[in-house]
């Protein structure tokens, strides 16, 4: 038995997460559990019933993310053999980084900001921080190994850089002394608005990165009742001369 084309997995992961976030936000506003429309993501899961939706969404998102990251690792492993490249150690390290990011997402789902603010925020930092590292590094590797066009590779790298930049802005306005140094209400509102927008933007660009896996995953197939070493394989032969080198077009 063979499952051809696994592109549905990253697409489902991104769709599930973004729709889930939209639903929790809508419920929070509809139930009157927030004094403003500008909410941190964590604030959309502080009260029941949106807290139950929040936990469900991020728990499944962590599982889907781990599956996507593992399949991407297997894809790059296969491509390394096809292109006669040797980066298995680096890919194993990145696999661990990606899985740790998904673990952070599961912590965010289970330990919500109220009544576990420290644990919840630690999970969020692990999820987004390691997620940014993973996305940037994989974007670099995928210039050489991806079956996507150079245009798609550039988009992948761009959204990864945007995520890292948005996360840095969030940390500057939310987790540093900048917010505490504001003595005026107007200044505090600006810092709060920048932090909220940058947090949502970091999550959005984080998810958009994985939509670009569509081209690669549609060439993957999963085979059942075969050796563990080759249950994931390419559906078509890829010639090394068609691959994009990261050192080209510079």
Full pLDDT tens readout for the chain, 250 residues: 344 568 889 999 999 999 999 999 999 999 888 888 889 998 888 888 889 999 999 999 999 999 999 999 988 888 877 666 666 788 899 999 999 999 999 999 999 877 788 899 899 999 999 999 999 999 998 998 888 889 999 999 999 999 999 999 998 887 665 656 666 666 778 888 888 999 999 999 999 999 999 888 887 776 654 444 556 666 654 433 334 333 344 3
What is the rounded distance in angstroms from the CA atom of residue 74 to the CA atom of residue 174? 37
Q: What local confidence, expressed as pLDDT, does residue 217 receive?
A: 85
CB-CB contact of 114 with 46 (8 Å) = yes
If you search the block for the tokens 């050796």, which residue do you land on? Answer: 227
Q: What local confidence, expressed as pLDDT, does residue 226 receive?
A: 43
Query: What is the side-by-side strand order in the sheet with 220-223?
Result: 2-4, 220-223, 232-234
Q: What local confidence, expressed as pLDDT, does residue 77 receive?
A: 83
Q: What local confidence, expressed as pLDDT, does residue 179 receive?
A: 58
What is the rounded distance in angstroms from the CA atom of residue 187 to the CA atom of residue 88? 49
Q: What local confidence, expressed as pLDDT, does residue 5 receive?
A: 66
């Amino acid at each position: 038995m063979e499952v051809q084309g696994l592109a549905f997995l990253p697409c489902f992961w991104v769709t599930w997460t973004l729709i889930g976030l939209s639903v929790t936000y809508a419920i929070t506003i509809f139930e009157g559990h927030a004094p403003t429309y500008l909410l941190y993501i964590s604030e959309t899961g502080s009260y029941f019933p949106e807290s139950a939706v929040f936990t469900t969404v991020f728990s499944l998102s962590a599982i889907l993310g781990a599956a996507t990251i593992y399949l991407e690792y297997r894809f790059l492993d296969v491509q390394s053999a096809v292109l006669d490249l040797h980066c298995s150690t680096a890919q194993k390290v990145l696999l661990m980084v990606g899985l740790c990011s998904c673990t952070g997402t599961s912590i965010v789902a289970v330990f919500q900001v109220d009544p576990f603010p420290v644990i919840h925020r630690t999970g969020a930092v692990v999820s987004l921080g390691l997620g940014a590292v993973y996305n940037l590094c994989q974007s670099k590797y995928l210039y050489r190994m991806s079956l996507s066009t150079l245009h798609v590779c550039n988009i992948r790298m761009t959204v990864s850089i945007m995520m890292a930049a948005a996360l840095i802005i969030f940390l500057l306005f939310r987790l540093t002394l900048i917010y505490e140094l504001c003595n005026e209400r107007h200044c505090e509102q600006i810092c709060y608005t920048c932090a909220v927008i940058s947090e949502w933007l970091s999550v959005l660009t984080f998810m958009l990165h994985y939509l670009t896996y569509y081209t690669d995953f549609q060439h993957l197939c999963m085979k059942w009742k075969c050796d563990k070493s080759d249950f994931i394989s390419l559906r078509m032969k890829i010639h090394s001369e068609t691959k994009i080198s990261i050192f080209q077009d510079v």
